Chain A
Amino acid sequence: MSALITVDGVTFRYTKQGNPAAPALQDVSLEFREGEFAVILGANGSGKTTLARHLNGLLLPDSGRVLVGRLDTRERANLGLIRQRVGMVFQHPEDQIVATTVEEDVAFGPENIALPPAEIRKRVDAAIAAVGLEAHRGRPPHLLSAGQMQRLALAGVLAMRPRCVVFDEATTMLDPAGRRMALELMAELRSEGMAVMFVTHNMQEVALADRAVVLSAGRVVFDGTPRDLFRHPGLESWGLELPPVTALARRLQRFFPGVDEGVLSIEELLARLPAPTLKCPSAPGSAVSPRGDSRAVIEVQGLEHTYMAGTPLAHQALSGVDLQVTPGRAHALVGVTGSGKSTLLQHLNGLLRPQKGSVRVGELHTEDPALPTRAVTRLAGLVMQNPEMQFFEQYVGDEVAYGPRQIGIDEPIAGRVRWAMELVGLDFESFKDRFTYALSGGEKRKVALASILALKTGILLLDEPTAGLDPHSRKEILGRLKHLEDEGMVMVLSTHQMEDVADLAEDVTAFRKGRSAFDGPASEVFWQFDALREIGLEAPVAAQTAARLVELGWPVAKGVINAGQLERAIEACLEKQP
């Protein structure tokens, strides 16, 4: 097969105030072929976005060259053709939408290359159908959900009929169902010879690719199959981790020699689990921990909410939500994007008030319009989605101090800021005078968390706390949250990372189209495999594995949802052998 894109000895430096910084790419040589599915990996700052932007001439190499087919990206006259051939979907879909209706936005690219109207119409219709947005073709883009916007961004690229699509961390905000749709679509496109490249942190996506390219400090340090990558000793030092399935397989290897460490998908793992060879005593009851009967600290009943109510653009986000949060039990809200999780969280700290139904937070009934929002925010702190987009102070210390200054506290503010920063693992002295915009992704998320913790609320509400973080930062944030939970913080979090929930939350409420579909202890909810699939979610891999073991006749208790529990269950069985 011929090379679609050739990267030949490329070195690139960003210039900072006239001075060249350390090279972002250093002597990178790669070749991408037709029909290939490659992932470009690396920790934050490793140069993967810089590389991606070289592929369609958004950035031009300082030395070396990039060829798309035979077209050199440094020739200005080639750029029109290059950008038709190499499409790019960016991280924040709302920033790449130019027009004011879905259809017109998809047409933007074809219009730029001066196609005749009939041809544009044909391509627009095909692209909209490919991503399943037919019902929304006339809507203004800012009223689409995050997932729909992502599809729109993809449609805009597909309408150019590219030979290659580069996703620059574009699937980070997708829920399992959305991601599955994108991947299926990709498979279809690849069968027609299109190459697909993912710049990603998501290790599950890596497992699906043919090829993984790892960058570290601007150099290619690995180029091979995902299977080989996961066996590579350097994995962790590059800021990467194993996908949950492979990590679990590795932990189970000591019990089941038949399960090898190269397992990439849950199907592969389940197929390799053996039937029990030894007779084990029956399961020691259920692992389900009972819900305490203490009074709920947050109670929501029959909550409904409509955005833009009373206009032709009205959109019902919540249509009947019940929720009970028990103190001492972290509560997770799960569901696909647009199912109402964020809207519910904003009701729990009083930003939104019930249009119908009731919300009680502690002793406060938020349906009372006379109740000041500040009374609720003092009780329940909300860390919003992508909180670093809302930073408004220049220095880290001021950002964290904003909340305590607003509400007025009876201790020195500096002390409170220090306490909050240290709680999330940021050293007060070395971080307080740093610029907020110059922090890394993980550090920003910690500052956002600290700025809410500084309010010393008893309840912490988190909207997608780990979204968009690289594996290393994600692990750190999860560790901090776990610590807070152990300290007695009441925690409600929304996420579509089921593996995080399995480690963190005791209770789960699953959402579907603005309704709370079902709820219960995590150990029960995650064993409702069909119900979860129906609302577009996947149970954690440990739960799926445990269920398969039970089927095979292993005496594993129902309700196992994470790797630790699964290991203990199998150990318990094996230990009782004479």
Chain B
Amino acid sequence: MSQFEFLRSIPFGQYLPTASPLHQLDPRARILAYTALILALTFSVHIEGVALGLAVALIGLWLGRIPLRYALRGLVTPLPFLLILAVMQVFLHTGPAGETALFTVWLVKITPSDLMAGAILMVRFTGLILTIGLATYTISNSEMTQGLNVLFRPLAGIGIPAQDLVMMAQVTLRFLPMLAQSAERIAKAQASRGADWDSRKGNLLARMRQVTPVIVPLFLSSLHRAENMALAMDARAYGSAPERTSLVALRFGWSDALLLGFALIAGAGVLFI
């Protein structure tokens, strides 16, 4: 793998058009279903609950035909932090009084409920990361835009320009891979002229020194591109009609209701098992 493939290292935010049954559903149903699952995973307190949530996330990945290995790669970066958090949880957890200690590390007694707390944390975060990943793989930006547009429509009543905000979010998302590519090009141009990009494992200071010269040209080129994009959007009549329509007509059908129903029941299960 090349040290310049910046795009490769951001698996998040990559829509994967696998044309699965999940992709065909109403984006509103997907947005609400994922939200339900995320909330349930966040607030569940039992191992059975979070495990069920994780299982539902895995079923979602399977339904969305997302390669499991690809989805799991999203876990690699946060994994060390998760482990540290889990270990801290084990040590700092205070179980119910009178529990028998399994073993003692230094002076800290480790009880079954301490271990359980660590396990719940691990499973909870794994489930959350996979669910958020699932959402980005299966909801395209414009589906997200439309879905949120409709879901946020009531906000316009209280004077919030929901449409413009959602469009801003969409253009920002479009810019992310473009930024990665620009950065890649600039880094390559600098490396071609003798800048040192080999020492990957350098300390933080060395990394900073390596990255800093990329920032200014990246900033300049982004401004330039933003200007071009605004011009192109103008030329394509953005803002000429008071209300935009959309390519995909949102139709909430039986299968959408089914997904939402399943998600709500699963969410309830995760919370109250």
User: Which residues of A does B touch, CB under 8 Å?
Assistant: 56, 58, 79-80, 83-84, 87-88, 90, 92, 94-101, 103-104, 107-118, 120-121, 124, 138-140, 142, 156-157, 160, 307-309, 311-313, 346, 349, 351-353, 372-374, 377-378, 381-382, 384, 387, 389-392, 402-404, 406-407, 451-452, 455
Docked pose: A142 CA to B7 CA in angstroms: 10
State how many angstroms separate the Cβ of A426 from the closest Cβ of chain B.
Answer: 17
Given contacts A120-B247, A381-B193, 19 further A-B contacts (CB under 8 A): A98-B171, A104-B140, A104-B141, A107-B246, A107-B247, A111-B247, A112-B236, A117-B247, A120-B246, A138-B19, A142-B181, A308-B7, A309-B8, A313-B14, A351-B188, A390-B186, A390-B190, A403-B193, A407-B194
Q: In the complex, which residues of chain B have a beta carbon less than 8 angstroms from the beta carbon of A120?
A: 245-247
What residues of chain B lie closer than 8 Å to A117, measured between beta carbons?
Answer: 245-249
Q: A142-B181, A392-B213 are in contact. Are A101 and B17 (CB under 8 A)?
A: yes
21 A-B residue pairings within 8 Å (CB atoms): A80-B240, A90-B231, A94-B225, A98-B170, A98-B229, A101-B15, A107-B246, A109-B237, A111-B244, A112-B241, A113-B237, A113-B240, A114-B243, A115-B245, A311-B8, A346-B188, A351-B4, A353-B2, A377-B191, A384-B185, A390-B221
- Contact at A98–B233, with CB atoms within 8 Å? yes
Complex Cα gap A290–B171 (Å): 55
A447 to nearest B CB, angstroms? 12
Chain B residues 178-197 with CB under 8 Å of chain A are 178, 181, 185-186, 188-197
**A378 to B188 alpha-carbon distance, docked (Å):** 14
For B185, the chain A residues whose CB sits under 8 A away are 384, 389-390
Tell me whether B170 and A99 are in contact (CB under 8 A).
yes
- Among B131-152, those with CB < 8 Å from A are 140-142
Give the interface centre of A111, A114, A142, A402 by most chain B CB atoms within 10 Å. A111
Instruction: Verify B193–A452 contact, CB threshold 8 A.
Output: yes
Task: Tell whether B98 is near chain A: CB-to-CB under 8 Å.
Answer: no
Cα distance, A58 to B171, chains bound together (Å): 20
B183 smallest CB distance to A (angstroms): 11
Residues of chain A within 8 A of B234, CB atoms compared: 58, 83
| B157, CB-defined interface residue at 8 Å | no
In the bound assembly, the distance between CA atoms of A96 and B178 in angstroms comes to 12
Chain B, Cβ-Cβ closest to A157 = B236
Residues of A within 8 Å of B4, CB to CB, are 351-352
A-contact 0/1 string along B10-34, CB 8 Å cutoff? 0100111111000000000000000
With contacts A352-B2, A455-B194 known, is A109 near B236, CB below 8 A? yes
Taken together as a complex, chains A and B put the C-alpha atoms of A84 and B214 apart, in Å, by: 39
B215 to chain A, nearest CB (A): 9
B245 nearest in chain A by CB position:
A114
A403 touching B181 by the CB < 8 A rule? Answer: no
| Interface contact A83-B141, CB-CB below 8 Å | no
Taking a contact as CB atoms under 8 Å apart, the answer to whether A99 and B228 are in contact is no
Closest residue of chain A to B199 (Cβ to Cβ) is A372
CA A548 to CA B16, docked complex, whole Å: 52
Q: Are A402 and B221 in contact (CB under 8 A)?
A: no
B232 within 8 A of A: yes
B246 near A95 with CB under 8 A, answer no
**Interface size grouping (class) on chain B:** 35 or more
Candidates B171, B217, B235; contact of A88 at CB < 8 Å = B235
Residues in A neighbouring B197, C-beta threshold 8 A = 373
A116 touches B245 (CB 8 A): yes
Minimal Cβ-Cβ distance residue in A for B188:
A351
Closest to A389 in B: B221
Closest CB-CB distance, B137 to chain A, in whole Å?
Answer: 9
Question: Which chain B positions have C-beta within 8 A of A389?
Answer: 185, 221
Given contacts A84-B237, A107-B247, A112-B238, contact A312 B190 (CB under 8 A): no
Q: A392-B216, A407-B194 are in contact. Are A311 and B70 (CB under 8 A)?
A: yes
Contacts of B205 in A (CB 8 A): none
Report the nearest B residue to A408, measured CB to CB. B194
Q: Indicate if the CB atoms of B70 and A312 lie closer than 8 Å.
A: yes
Q: Given the complex of chains A and B, what is the CA–CA distance between A309 and B7 in angstroms?
A: 11
Specify the chain A residue showing the minimal Cβ separation from B233.
Answer: A98
Report the separation of the CA atoms of residues A500 and B15 in the bound assembly, to the nearest whole angstrom. Answer: 41
Contact B232 A99 (CB under 8 A): no
Residues of A within 8 A of B72 (CB): none
B246 touches which one: A111, A391, A403, A451 (CB < 8 A)?
A111
Tell me the minimal C-beta distance from A170 to chain B in angstroms: 11
Residue on A nearest B180 in the bound complex, by CB: A142
Separation of A115 and B214 alpha carbons in the complex (Å): 43
Q: Is the CB of A140 within 8 A of B241?
A: no
> In the assembled complex, how far is the CB of residue A174 from the closest CB belonging to chain B, in whole angstroms?
18
B60 at the A interface (CB under 8 A)? no
Task: Determine if A377 and B194 form an interchain contact, defined as CB atoms under 8 angstroms apart.
Answer: yes
B196 partner residues in chain A, CB cutoff 8 A: 372, 374, 406
Q: Is B99 an interface residue (CB 8 A)?
A: no
- For the complex, give the distance between the alpha carbons of A452 and B188 in Å: 13
Which of B2, B8, B191, B235 lies in contact with A58, CB distance below 8 A?
A: B235
Nearest residue, chain B, Cβ from A372:
B198
- State whether B15 touches A112 (Cβ < 8 A): no
User: Which residues of chain B have C-beta atoms less than 8 A from A402's C-beta?
Assistant: 190, 193-194
Residue among A97, A98, A103, A118 with max Cβ neighbours from chain B (10 Å) = A98
Residues of chain B lying within 8 A (CB to CB) of residue A349: 192
B177 touches A381 (CB 8 A): no
Q: Does B207 contact A (CB under 8 A)?
A: no
- Give A107 to B174 CA distance when docked, in angstroms: 15
Interchain CB contact under 8 A, A307 and B17: no
Residue in A96, A109, A404 whose beta carbon sits within 8 Å of that of B229 in the complex: A96
- Rounded to whole angstroms, the CA-CA distance of A160 and B144 in the bound complex is 24
Other-chain contact of B236, A108, A312, A352, A390 (Cβ < 8 Å): A108
Q: How far is the CA of A98 from the CA of B244 in the complex (A)?
A: 15
Say whether B193 contacts A83, CB under 8 Å: no
A109, B198: Cα distance in complex, Å = 44
Which residues of the other chain, B, contact A111 by a CB distance below 8 angstroms? 244-247
Check A308–B8 contact: CB distance below 8 A: yes
- Give complex CA distance A84, B236 in Å: 7
Q: Which 3 A-B pairs have the closest CB atoms?
A: A80-B240, A406-B194, A96-B232
Are A382 and B192 touching (Cβ within 8 A)?
yes
- Does B189 lie within 8 Å of A390, measured CB to CB? yes
Task: Give CA–CA (A480, B144) in the complex, Å.
Answer: 52
Instruction: Given A309-B1, A351-B191, verify A112-B198 contact (CB < 8 Å).
Output: no
Residues of chain A within 8 A of B241, CB atoms compared: 80, 112-114
Contact A140 B193 (CB under 8 A): no
The reply on B67 being an interface residue by CB < 8 A is yes
> Counting CB contacts under 8 A, is B173 at the interface?
yes
Are A112 and B192 neighbours in the complex by a CB distance under 8 Å?
no
